[in-house]
Amino acid sequence: MKIQEKIELLRRELEQHNYNYYVLSQPTISDFEFDTKLRELQELESAHPEFFDPNSPTQRVGSDISDGFRQVTHVYPMLSLGNTYSEGEVADFYERVRKALNEDFELVCELKYDGTSISLTYENGSLLRAVTRGDGEKGDDVTANVKTIRSVPLRLHGNFPVLFEIRGEILMPWTVFDDLNKEREAQEESLFANPRNAASGTLKLQNPSIVASRKLDTYLYYLLGKKLPADKHYDNLMAAKSWGFKISDAMKVCRSLPEVFDFIKYWDEERKNLPVATDGIVIKVNSLIQQKNLGFTAKSPRWAIAYKFQAEKALTRLNSVSFQVGRTGAVTPVANLDPVQLSGTTVKRASLHNADIIESLDLHIGDMVYVEKGGEIIPKITAVDLDSRVLVGEKVQFIKNCPECGTPLVRFEGEAAHYCPNDNACPPQIKGKMEHFVSRKAMNIDGLGSETINLLYENKLLSNVADIYELKVADLARLERLGNKSAMNIRTSCEKSKNVPFERVIFALGIRFVGETVAKKLAGAFKNIEVLESATYEELIAVDEIGDRIAQSVLKFFADERNIRLIERLKSYGLQMALSEEQMRNAGDSLAGLSIVISGTFNKHSRDEYKALIERHGGKNTGSVSSKTSFILAGENMGPEKLKKAEKLGVKLVNEKEFLVMIGESENQQQAFTGTLF
């Protein structure tokens, strides 16, 4: 078979598997088989750039940094819908339509997906561009990002119009949203308030490979174009489904108002079981001719309306505000409320997030407040009922000193949170660090829940994480609530934790901003604790995904003598303080024995960072080109002298992207080849 045919065949096969997995949710091959095929295609494509196709499945993994977004004018403006919260107004809408049409009509009821809207244009069955709503007239061209969304077909099958537009919603599934926020919390990054914000924020990222990792999804609900397959909205969506688009099954043609209300009632309950957020029902006139006859107002179509579900909220009294100190010293204000029922659970506490939010709510003790369960796990206070404020209680102020140790709080520039800086002596910080250390994704030590840690701390058996390894069964068993068996279990689990791999030990140390992913990167880059301890700022930021904030935090951690002593102790107990031999083999010294010249300017790292990267991967950076030069790492505007010499000596040029692939720092590679550690 010819190379080009092989490439095409693999592309078709992978497209089909993407469709089976992301649209039909019925995969027919394993992830591993998929990744193997994708890698094969990637290799063929990079060896044969002449067969490049911007819509190849390999392009979904996201390419390099793109800068800014091009503004595109919508062919058809992206209007919004008139919306209502009342069934009475739905009935009014029905009446208006009935009177205006004065003939039989059908309505289509659909779910109102709560994401960020997108317009996709296809030409000859290929995705041409993806544009955000923007101001309705013009939006951002986010094609590169949208291509990473697996349920968006890059090429269609069947009998589609030559040119058309399809609109829909981009969504972040709840599970992805929860994981993302957990990860952001661990890294002390600000949390997304709900999946909608997370989806639109993700779509605006400048790096499509991060977008790819966020596992966005889509539902399409509106087909536009000069030549559409049918004259009914429902049939057009069914046709679009047959071309490969993800169209919701929660769609119904209704011929009467009671049918519409049944749909609303059913989905108001059933939507709680959906993997993505919905915030209402959209009701549309089915016939396109009737739609045309009804027309538009300045802002929205007369042939459709959105019925919004009530956000679940409750009104209750604010009794007090307490301030909690977390393991990182971040102080979180928590509202204590009169217990109230909300979505099936009793709510007694709600998060107030930070000082700015307290200020903007103008909270006073005794206020009647609205609590809502948004996307977040912890309910939040969304408003104060000012009408019921009779006796004004004390205004809620953010505290100045740590409620646990009295140390004055600090607020770092650009951050919303207040911190207690007394990280080595403030009790909840010490206990929090221990809880983090023993947690499942860190050292995974069983039997040491927060209560036990508290007990051990109070009894002076634990004062830092290293003490955990000095715990004696007899000491443990003597404590109330802990029997001999539990004590033995804790000891066994501590022993087992000595095999926990290096990257998890780094994570367990609880260095600010070093979450699981960053810990992995650090372990992969520096290989053992001694090298990591002495890493310079330049060496740290040369590591993929590590920027100024993390680098500063790592430097600060290792600059503290107490931390160095702690690590020495952990080392002496036998914890893994280096990559295992197997990990070393996998990580590989990819540039061992190579002599590399750097020339030109680069996008991803500075020249100094590339120098550090070469050395870290076992290579040698040399200044001038000679016959001994293995290759030139060639950036933009490479010096003409070096170029001439390289040509003369036949020295290979390797561009930035190729180089990053060589050292395993290409984001493409990490996304595509799941299963490898670094």
Q: Taking Cα atoms as reference points, which of 361, 379, 383, 360 lies closest to residue 370?
A: 383
Task: Number of residues interacting with ligand IVH: please give it, by CB under 6 A.
Answer: 14
Q: Taking Cα atoms as reference points, which of 116, 502, 496 lies closest to residue 276?
A: 116
C-alpha Rg value of the chain to the nearest Å: 29
Structure tokens at 593: 């024995």
- Cβ atoms of 411 and 419 within 8 Å: the answer is yes
- Looking at the Cβ atoms of 110 and 667, the one nearer to ligand IVH is 110
Out of 15, 45, 64, 110, the only residue in the binding site for ligand IVH (CB under 6 A) is 110
**Shortest gap between Cβ of 68 and ligand IVH (angstroms)?**
24
3-state secondary structure of 621: strand
- Cβ atoms of 131 and 139 within 8 Å: the answer is yes
- Looking at the Cβ atoms of 132 and 316, the one nearer to ligand IVH is 132
Count of all residues that appear for the chain in the document: 678
Identity at 491, one-letter amino acid code: R
Stretch that binds ligand IVH, among 111-119, 357-365, 425-433, 513-521 (CB under 6 A): 111-119
CA dist., res. 58 & res. 51, Å (int): 13
Dihedral over alpha carbons 516, 521, 526, 527 (to 10 degrees):
70
- Looking at the Cβ atoms of 77 and 339, the one nearer to ligand IVH is 77
220 touches ligand IVH (CB under 6 A) = no
81 touches ligand IVH (CB under 6 A) = yes
Residue 305 makes CB contacts below 8 A (sequence gap 6+) with 81, 82, 83, 84, 89, 90, 93, 282, 283
Stretch that binds ligand IVH, among 79-87, 182-190, 418-426, 656-664 (CB under 6 A): 79-87
Out of 294, 306, 575, 663, the only residue in the binding site for ligand IVH (CB under 6 A) is 306
CA dist., res. 403 & res. 407, Å (int): 8
Stretch that binds ligand IVH, among 107-115, 256-264, 451-459, 602-610 (CB under 6 A): 107-115
Residues 41, 45, 46, CA angle at the centre, nearest 5°? Answer: 120
Out of 29, 206, 241, 301, the only residue in the binding site for ligand IVH (CB under 6 A) is 301
CA dist., res. 111 & res. 250, Å (int): 7
For residue 411, the tally of other CB atoms under 10 A from its CB is 14
- Looking at the Cβ atoms of 80 and 450, the one nearer to ligand IVH is 80
**Shortest gap between Cβ of 226 and ligand IVH (angstroms)?**
17
- Looking at the Cβ atoms of 167 and 353, the one nearer to ligand IVH is 167
- Looking at the Cβ atoms of 118 and 646, the one nearer to ligand IVH is 118
Out of 122, 192, 222, 263, the only residue in the binding site for ligand IVH (CB under 6 A) is 222
Tally of helices (H runs) and strands (E runs) in the chain: 26, 21
Applying the rule CB under 6 A, the residues between 18 and 77 that interact with ligand IVH are none
- Looking at the Cβ atoms of 111 and 519, the one nearer to ligand IVH is 111
Out of 29, 79, 128, 399, the only residue in the binding site for ligand IVH (CB under 6 A) is 79
Beta strand residue intervals within 356-493, DSSP E: 368-372, 380-384, 418-419
135 touches ligand IVH (CB under 6 A) = no
671 touches ligand IVH (CB under 6 A) = no
Q: Residue of minimal CB distance from ligand IVH?
A: 117
- Looking at the Cβ atoms of 301 and 427, the one nearer to ligand IVH is 301
User: Looking at 2, 6, 112, 226, which residue is catalytic?
Assistant: 112
CA dist., res. 420 & res. 414, Å (int): 17
CA dist., res. 92 & res. 67, Å (int): 47
Identity at 214, one-letter amino acid code: R
Tokens 């609530």: give the residue. 481
Out of 56, 117, 209, 328, the only residue in the binding site for ligand IVH (CB under 6 A) is 117
CA dist., res. 417 & res. 333, Å (int): 10
502 touches ligand IVH (CB under 6 A) = no
Applying the rule CB under 6 A, the residues between 554 and 593 that interact with ligand IVH are none
**Shortest gap between Cβ of 304 and ligand IVH (angstroms)?**
6
Binding track over 256-285 against ligand IVH, x by CB under 6 A: --------------------------x---
Out of 169, 217, 404, 544, the only residue in the binding site for ligand IVH (CB under 6 A) is 169
Stretch that binds ligand IVH, among 92-100, 106-114, 358-366, 639-647 (CB under 6 A): 106-114
Q: Is 112 a catalytic residue?
A: yes
Do strands 345-351 and 418-419 pair parallel, antiparallel, or not at all (unpaired)? unpaired
Give 178-214 as a DSSP string: HHHHHHHHHTTPPPPSSHHHHHHHHHT-S-HHHHHHT
Out of 93, 113, 243, 513, the only residue in the binding site for ligand IVH (CB under 6 A) is 113
Q: What is the largest CA-CA distance in the chain?
A: 88
Backbone φ and ψ for 122, nearest 5 degrees, come out as -120, 135
Q: Contact residues for ligand IVH (CB under 6 A)?
A: 79-81, 110, 112-113, 117, 169, 221-222, 282, 301, 304, 306
So which residues are the catalytic ones? 112
